[in-house]
């Protein structure tokens, strides 16, 4: 509709200055809101990870109950605790392992045989003797379940054409000065499920001299600032 007054057209286009002001305001709003959206997504991922690891701990305790207090080993006759891509693992009777993948990042996978989830199991729960025979461990042998790691966010790091890539690992170790595996994927903090079933957020302390491990927030679950002790892992 063409409205006129006194013979002149009242409609007018935006001036260049007005357009610049509008674009500037929009860009400013984007600069303010985008970090907020990313933080919301990161917090949502952290909540999912906390839930996943808590579920792992609960399934692990049910396994222990069914096997007369005996701790699950990381591997038994080729059957890994984390299962294959169909969810068949030692914990699969208690939890759908195929749905337990960490939403925070994508790992490099060597193959699609296994259902790597981004979480790892305490390696010290699977000891062997001098002939490499498994030594059974009972839950009752854990002296301080509230301060002994069961599961945690984890990753390894390797180089391809001078590019460092995260890959999934199945067991979590301490005192690994050169190749730390605890992954602080949330601004340097990772998530741990303890042997008593509670979860907590822990700082990934890095003692490695390799700067790439620090860049990728790979460190250790440590209490005494000594990379050669295993206070959170041993029985």
H/E element, 61:
helix 16-66
> What local confidence, expressed as pLDDT, does residue 227 receive?
80
232, part of any domain: no
6, part of any domain: no
Beta-strand pair 171-172/119-122: parallel
Domain of residue 176 covers: 14-219
Q: Residue 160 in 3-state DSSP?
A: strand
> What local confidence, expressed as pLDDT, does residue 168 receive?
80
149, part of any domain: yes
> What local confidence, expressed as pLDDT, does residue 156 receive?
87
Calculate the alpha carbon distances from 4 to 7, 10, 11, 12, 97 in Å: 6, 6, 9, 12, 71
Among 181, 193, 207, 187, residue whose Cα is nearest residue 107:
181
> What local confidence, expressed as pLDDT, does residue 139 receive?
96
Q: How many helices (H) and strands (E) does the chain have?
A: 2, 13
82, part of any domain: yes
Are 80 and 170 contacting, i.e. CB atoms less than 8 angstroms apart? yes
229, part of any domain: no
9, part of any domain: no
CA distance 145 to 166: 30
Exposure on the CB side of residue 80, measured as CA atoms within 13 A:
18
Report the domain count for the chain.
Answer: 1
Among 130, 124, 132, 117, residue whose Cα is nearest residue 150:
124
CA distance 24 to 232: 52
> What local confidence, expressed as pLDDT, does residue 75 receive?
81
2, part of any domain: no
45, part of any domain: yes
Residues lower than pLDDT 70 in the chain: 1-14, 33-43, 77-78, 84-87, 98-99, 104-116, 175-177
Calculate the alpha carbon distances from 229 to 176, 183, 225 in Å: 10, 19, 9
């Amino acid at each position: 509709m063409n409205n006129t007054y006194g013979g002149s057209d009242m409609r007018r286009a935006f001036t260049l200055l007005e357009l610049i002001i509008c674009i500037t305001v929009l860009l400013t709003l984007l600069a303010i809101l985008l970090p907020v959206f990313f933080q919301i997504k990161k917090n949502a991922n952290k909540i999912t990870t906390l839930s996943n690891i808590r579920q792992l701990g609960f399934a692990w305790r049910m396994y222990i109950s069914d096997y007369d207090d005996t701790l699950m080993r990381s591997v038994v006759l080729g059957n890994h605790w984390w299962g294959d891509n169909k969810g068949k693992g030692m914990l699969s009777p208690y939890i759908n392992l195929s749905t337990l993948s960490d939403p925070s990042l994508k790992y490099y996978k060597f193959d699609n045989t296994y259902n790597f989830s981004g979480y790892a199991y305490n390696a010290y729960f699977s000891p062997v003797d001098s002939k490499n025979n498994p030594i059974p461990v009972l839950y009752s042998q854990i002296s301080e379940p509230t301060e002994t790691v069961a599961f945690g966010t984890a990753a390894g790091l390797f180089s391809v054409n001078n590019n460092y890539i995260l890959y999934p690992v199945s067991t979590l170790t301490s005192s690994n000065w050169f190749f730390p595996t605890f992954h602080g994927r949330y601004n340097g903090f990772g998530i741990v499920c303890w042997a008593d079933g509670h979860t907590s957020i822990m700082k990934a302390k890095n003692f490695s001299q390799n700067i790439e491990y620090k860049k990728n927030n790979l460190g250790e679950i440590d209490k005494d600032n000594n990379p050669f002790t295993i206070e959170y892992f041993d029985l």
